């Protein structure tokens, strides 16, 4: 089976700073892969490279077997134009740390936006599905609320529904609970847990070790742009092989 995500010695620099130094990663369909590591380790950058919010400098990055942002023809690589990149990104949902909901649209309008604008679905049908999706994240009654009228946890759940509206094959979560009050973290993790149970392929950058242990199929520990250690979450978390992993875990657990 083609891996959902396949990174081969991916490298990325911002100016003189090398953020990713040869990252290899494989995520199989249906797998939940959690990425942990100290800040500045490159875990968010790796996630943003997967849906081409950042371009990679070296290596190869495939999603569903397709090179992200590139097209190979007669052994030569060409950058994709805007619309073709958009077509690749439709299949990849992304949830941001700061939610990034559209503040001028209601919860339902946020969820409808991509189906209506990108896939040209009729508004009425898109709205029905949007309310359905909001129901799935427990917010059916807040469909007409603006983001500013929702709590952080509710906003993040709307953001998840918005990403699901394009029926993605892969969901990327960039520290989805880091901007939330502690008591609101649970409701977002519940939605993610449910999503994992339904078989969604997920890459989750997180500091929630409990979630990684319970829901994750694989755990990746990153430091200084490299994958230091990876494997079964329970094994890595309770019996890390690398000194660096041990040092990190001793501080966060």
Partner 1 sequence: MAEPATTGARPEPRDAAPVRHPGRWVAIAVLAVLGAMLVNTLLTNENFGWPTVAQYLFSAPVLNGLANTLVLTVLSMLIGILGGIGLAVMRLSPNPVLSGVAGGYLWLFRGTPLIAQLLFWSFLSALYPNLSLGIPFGPSFVVFDTNSLITPFLACLLGLGLNEAAYMAEIVRGGIQSVDHGQSEAAGALGMTRAQTLRRVVLPQAMRVIIPPTGNETIGMLKTTSLVVVIGYTELLTSVQRIYSTNFQTIPLLIVAAAWYLLLTSLLTAGQRVIERRYGRGVAGAVTEATPLVRLFSFRTGGKTA
DSSP characters over 155-217: HHHHHHHHHHTT--SEEEEESTTTTS-HHHHHHHHHHHHHHHHTT-EEEEE-S-HHHHHHH-S
Question: Under the criterion CB under 8 A, does residue 179 sit at the interface with partner 1?
Answer: no
Question: Under the criterion CB under 8 A, does residue 101 sit at the interface with partner 1?
Answer: yes
Which one of 27, 49, 63, 92 is in contact with partner 1 (CB under 8 A)? 92
SS3 84: helix
Question: Under the criterion CB under 8 A, does residue 163 sit at the interface with partner 1?
Answer: yes
Tell me the residue length of the chain: 253
Segment contacting partner 1 by CB under 8 A, of 63-71, 142-150, 181-189, 194-202: 142-150
Closest distance to partner 1 from the beta carbon of 111 (Å) = 10
Closest distance to partner 1 from the beta carbon of 69 (Å) = 11
Which one of 86, 135, 199, 210 is in contact with partner 1 (CB under 8 A)? 86
Contact set for partner 1, span 31-70 (CB under 8 A): 51, 53
SS3 117: helix
d(CA 18, CA 128): 46
Segment contacting partner 1 by CB under 8 A, of 24-32, 33-41, 60-68, 97-105: 97-105
Question: Under the criterion CB under 8 A, does residue 169 sit at the interface with partner 1?
Answer: no
- Chain centroid, CA 227 distance in Å: 18
How many residues form the binding site for partner 1 (CB under 8 A)?
31
Instruction: With residue 59 as reference, give the H or E element that holds it.
Output: strand 58-63
d(CA 191, CA 163): 13
Residues found near partner 1 in the complex (CB under 8 A): 51, 53, 82-83, 86-87, 89-90, 92-94, 96, 98, 100-106, 113-114, 117-118, 146-148, 159, 162-163, 166
């Amino acid at each position: 089976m083609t891996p959902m995500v396949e990174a081969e010695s991916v490298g990325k620099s911002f100016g003189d700073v090398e953020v990713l130094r040869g990252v290899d990663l494989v995520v199989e369909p249906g797998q939940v892969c959690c990425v942990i590591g100290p800040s500045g380790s490159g875990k968010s950058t790796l996630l943003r490279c997967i849906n081409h919010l950042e371009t990679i400098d070296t290596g190869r990055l495939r999603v569903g077997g397709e090179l992200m942002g590139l097209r190979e023809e007669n052994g030569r690589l060409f950058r994709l134009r805007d619309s073709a990149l958009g077509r690749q990104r439709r299949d990849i949902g992304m949830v941001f740390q700061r939610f990034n909901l559209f503040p001028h649209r209601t919860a339902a309008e946020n969820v409808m936006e991509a189906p209506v604008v990108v896939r040209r679905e009729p508004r009425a049908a898109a709205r029905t599905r949007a309310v359905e999706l909001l129901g799935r994240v427990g917010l059916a009654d807040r469909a007409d609320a603006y983001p500013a009228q929702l709590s952080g946890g509710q906003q993040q759940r709307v953001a998840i529904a918005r990403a699901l509206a394009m029926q993605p094959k892969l969901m990327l979560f960039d520290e989805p609970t880091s901007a939330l009050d502690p008591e609101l973290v649970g409701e977002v993790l519940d939605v993610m847990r449910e999503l994992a149970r339904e078989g969604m392929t997920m890459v989750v950058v997180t500091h929630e070790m409990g979630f990684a242990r319970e829901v994750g199929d694989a755990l990746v520990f990153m430091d200084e742009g490299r994958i230091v250690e990876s494997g079964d979450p329970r094994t890595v978390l309770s019996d890390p092989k690398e000194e660096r992993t041990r040092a990190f875990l001793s501080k966060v657990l």
